Chains A and B, each alone.
Chain A
């Protein structure tokens, strides 16, 4: 499968390891990533909070560029980029007046033909390939699949899974030989873009997510969003209650989970770039004996 690839700004910065691990698994899984030439930032929550037109026109430019490159599908691994690109595509398709304004503002050919995919749905659809190629199945590893908000909502935009009871990420984790745990917080918001501007909110929301994953017996939380990752990984230290001594919870990208199952070296997947040690996860690959869930990482 060949798709247009929209890296998004985080892949070159705070979540480099998401991009690294995506590239590492794409080749063995037969996915060719053709980067959109001269793509621009999707505008994320800031364009969204400021101007509807800007929130649609910025992603539309990249969609038009992917179209010009001859693509019909575009992969946006960052859940925020995915949400903004798919949202723009949806709004333009639904609103002819808006479509007219956007085309005028873009001043380039644009038919809104490119479908937007996220990494989770692509990996879910490659489940059989993952199973067949998993040389190091992650037996015994308990994973809390965290969707957050941008991947599955709004339902009219995302449509690849049930917005209130999704199962795609769990399917990927199972294909890797690991065990998805049942937990309650998988669709709650982590505080997203408030990481800098309203840290206490992010700490409150993230703490509830970590505590629930722990209660469910998870060894790690899998994510598909750079903001979820940075909030739960980088801000995890701030989330510990005073005097609390609980084992840290590794936060891993779903592409890293797949990479480990495919037998790819942890360094190639950027596992060393996390703030919370990922040892509890990496020790499960390569057929090593499974350790008890309560082991400190």
Chain B
């Protein structure tokens, strides 16, 4: 037994155990009926659909989930959870799998999606709020999609929809402490 392990909190070893430890959900409840996949708006674009993700979690195949972009294409719309007859919540399981996969391989997500999330969180860390202009610029630099939607900017501005100066939280240090606290918690956990 390692230092962190005790009878009440055994260190999770399989992917299903890790998901359970992180979310309290038991992926083994899934009996592969496929209702989640039938309603998934992204199923048309993914190779692994929600019920495939559930199966691979239960079969302890993080490798299969890591080598495919499917888990990163979940929109979190929760249609799967609303329709699951056995309360499996595939979207939340997928969230947990993303976190586990990203810890093992930080570049697992497709570049554009990674760029978006990184640019978004960077804005919150900087300002406590999202500056949309900063988000767009940060996204462009990280994704390499420098000229995407460039033609849209004047239309956005003439409608008063793009602010150059980001709104800022006064006590932005407090927000940064939350980021630090969550990161520290992740390392402990």
Q: How far is the CA of A162 from the CA of B1 in the complex (A)?
A: 48
- Decide: A101 near B185, CB < 8 A? Known: A9-B167, A54-B179: yes
B residues 109-124 near A (Cβ < 8 Å) are 112-113, 115-117, 120-121, 123-124
Q: How far is the CA of A191 from the CA of B152 in the complex (A)?
A: 19
Partner of B181 from A13, A45, A57, A149 at Cβ < 8 Å: A57
Interface range for B: 35 or more
Q: Are A49 and B98 in contact (CB under 8 A)?
A: yes
Residues of B within 8 A of A49 (CB): 72, 76, 95, 98, 117
Residues of A within 8 A of B139 (CB): 196-197
Return B109 CB to nearest CB of chain A, in Å: 8
- Decide: A40 near B75, CB < 8 A? Known: A49-B98, A197-B139: no
Q: How far is the CA of A275 from the CA of B130 in the complex (A)?
A: 22
Return A9 CB to nearest CB of chain B, in Å: 4
B residues 24-43 near A (Cβ < 8 Å) are 24, 41-42
Residues of A within 8 A of B143 (CB): 197
Interface range for A: 35 or more
Closest to B112 in A: A197
Partner of A198 from B41, B98, B112, B128 at Cβ < 8 Å: B112
Q: Are A51 and B76 in contact (CB under 8 A)?
A: no
Q: Quick one: which of B115, B121, B156, B169 has the most chain A CB within 10 A?
A: B121
- Decide: A192 near B77, CB < 8 A? Known: A38-B170, A53-B186, A105-B182: yes
Residues of B within 8 A of A204 (CB): 44-45
Closest to A61 in B: B178
Q: Are A52 and B23 in contact (CB under 8 A)?
A: yes
Q: Are B130 and A9 in contact (CB under 8 A)?
A: yes
Q: Are A106 and B161 in contact (CB under 8 A)?
A: no
A residues 95-125 near B (Cβ < 8 Å) are 95, 101, 104-107
Task: Using CB atoms and an 8 Å cutoff, list the residues of chain A in contact with chain B.
Answer: 9-10, 12-16, 38-41, 43-54, 57-58, 61, 95, 101, 104-107, 148-150, 153-155, 163-164, 187-189, 191-194, 196-199, 201, 204-205, 234, 272-275
Task: Using CB atoms and an 8 Å cutoff, list the residues of chain B in contact with chain A.
Answer: 22-24, 41-42, 44-45, 72-73, 75-79, 81-83, 89, 95-96, 98-99, 102, 112-113, 115-117, 120-121, 123-124, 128-132, 135-136, 139, 143, 148-149, 152, 155-156, 159-163, 167, 169-171, 174-175, 177-179, 181-182, 185-186
Considering the complex of A and B, which 10 residue pairs feature the smallest CB-CB distances, nearest first? A105-B181, A149-B77, A189-B77, A153-B78, A46-B120, A9-B130, A197-B116, A46-B117, A197-B112, A53-B182
